[in-house]
Amino acid sequence: MFYYISKKLFVSLITLFIISLFAFSLMHLLPGDPVINVLGEGATDEDIAYWRSYYNLDQPILKQYVLWVRNFIKGDMGVSLMYEEDVSETLARRLPVTLAVGIPICIVSIFFGILFGVITAVKRGTWIDQVLTTMANIGIASPLFWFAIMLILIFGMQLNILPFRGFVAPSENFVEYLKSIALPVAAGSLGFVAVITRQTRSNMLEVLNQDYIRTARANGLSEVSILFTEALKNALIPIITIMGMQIRIIVGGSIIIEQVFSIPGIGSWLIRAITNRDYWIVQACVLVISIVTVFSNLLVDILYGFIDPRIRKKWR
């Protein structure tokens, strides 16, 4: 098991290294000088020289990268030229907001996905199965932003029962927080619920047909305990794989969710930075978002190792 985890960790670090190269080169692949691009043609030579040396742009490129990574690890991501805001500070403010929306999306989707999957598998062929399966298919096919806009139109503007703009921190007012994330979470988890539902359903159907389940039945185990101990445990392995693959989609989707619902998280910040060509923020955002993804994937992999006996045995 130790080998397994250390190998996964090693691969994650290599992945992060490549991503950091990508994020770093984003700014340097660009034609023109980023400082002049932001300050405009009218900037004084003194200003330009000051900011260039501030960002180490006058250093050789390899050194720039090393300095950038070192500063990043120390938590210093520089100052955005555009708004003169400290990137690390803003990040520290916005990351919790993103997590406060993203983590509920994960929990809600996994809970409902598995629940619906089990229901549709057990009640296979009944109307519940058909309704839920059709909804899952629609959920997989419909684009996130469209669904988000529909939710706003219906629950926000027509029925006027839920807020659809902004965000209230849970520490401020927990009830308002729940209200403010209701629509974003609903929009964000739809596709994920659909994918997990479908996967769980087909896995459960497969597992339920296997011999050991029949044996368990014959031994007089209750139907509910068969479902939730024997069957689900075995159906869970492929589901976790799917979850690992979906994490980057959730993270990517949160950008759209934040934009549509005006949530001051990292996603909307990134979009603003991109439209403003605020390279320092783009760099930092890409790296931070990727770190979140890479480590969630690592977590899933490790979880996978604990659950799947084949891996556990193979890697000892």
Partner 1 sequence: MDELRKNKTSAKLKNSIQVFLGRGLLSRICLVILILFVMIAIFAPYISPYHPNIQNLRNRLAPFSSEHPLGTDHLGRDMLSRIIYGARVSLQSSLLAGLFAAAIGILLGLLSGYYGGLLSTVILRLSDAHLSIPGHVFTLSVAAVMGGGLHSIVIAIGLGMIPTYVRMMNGLVLSCKENDYITASLLTGESNLKILFKHLLPNCFPSLIVLFTMNLGNGIMM
Partner 2 sequence: MNMTIEQNSVLLEVNNLKMHFPVSESIFSKSKTVLKAVDGVSFTINRGETFGLVGESGSVKTTTGKCILGIHNPTDGNIIYNGIDITKLSKNEAKKFLREKQMIFQDPYGSLDPRRSAFTIVKDAIVADGHKIPKGELKDKVNSLLELVELDPVIGTRYPHEMSGGQRQRLGIARALACDPKLIVCDEPVSALDVSIQAQIINLFEELQEKMKLTYLFIAHDLAVVRHISDYVGVTYLGKLVEVTDSRELYKNPLHPYTKALLSAIPLTNYEVERKRNRIMLQGDIPSPINTPTGCPFHPRCIYARKECLTCMPPLREISKGHKVACHIVN
Which parts of this chain interact with partner 1 (CB under 8 A)? 11, 14-16, 18-19, 22, 26-27, 29-30, 134, 137, 143, 248-249, 251-253, 255-256, 270-271, 274-275, 277, 282, 285-286, 289-290, 293-294, 297
Q: Which lies closer to partner 1 via its Cβ, residue 4 or residue 227? A: 4
| Cα 215 to Cα 288: distance, rounded to the nearest angstrom | 49
CB 285 within 8 A of CB 270: yes
Q: Which lies closer to partner 2 via its Cβ, residue 3 or residue 306? A: 3
CB 167 within 8 A of CB 232: no
CB 204 within 8 A of CB 231: yes
In sequence order, what are the beta bridge partners of 86?
Answer: 79
Nearest CA to 88 out of 73, 70, 76 is that of: 76
Q: Which lies closer to partner 2 via its Cβ, residue 4 or residue 280? A: 4
In angstroms, what is the minimal distance from the CB of 1 to partner 2?
11
What are the CB-based long-range contacts (under 8 Å, 24+) for 267-274?
A: 267/98, 269/90, 269/94, 273/80, 273/82
Q: 137 touches which of partner 2, partner 1, none (CB within 5 to 8 A by kind)?
A: partner 1
Q: 4 touches which of partner 1, partner 2, none (CB within 5 to 8 A by kind)?
A: partner 2
Q: Which lies closer to partner 1 via its Cβ, residue 126 or residue 134? A: 134
Angle between helical axes of 266-276 and 232-260 (0-180°, round to 10): 40
Q: 217 touches which of partner 1, partner 2, none (CB within 5 to 8 A by kind)?
A: none
Q: 221 touches which of partner 2, partner 1, none (CB within 5 to 8 A by kind)?
A: none
In angstroms, what is the minimal distance from the CB of 213 to partner 1?
28
Binding site for partner 2 (CB under 8 A): 3-4, 6-7, 314-316
- Positive or negative: CA dihedral 301, 305, 307, 308: positive
Q: Which two tokens stand for residue 203?
A: 């896995």
Q: 316 touches which of partner 1, partner 2, none (CB within 5 to 8 A by kind)?
A: partner 2
Q: Which residue has the tokens 């250390």?
A: 6
Q: Which lies closer to partner 1 via its Cβ, residue 110 or residue 285? A: 285
Q: Which lies closer to partner 1 via its Cβ, residue 151 or residue 270? A: 270
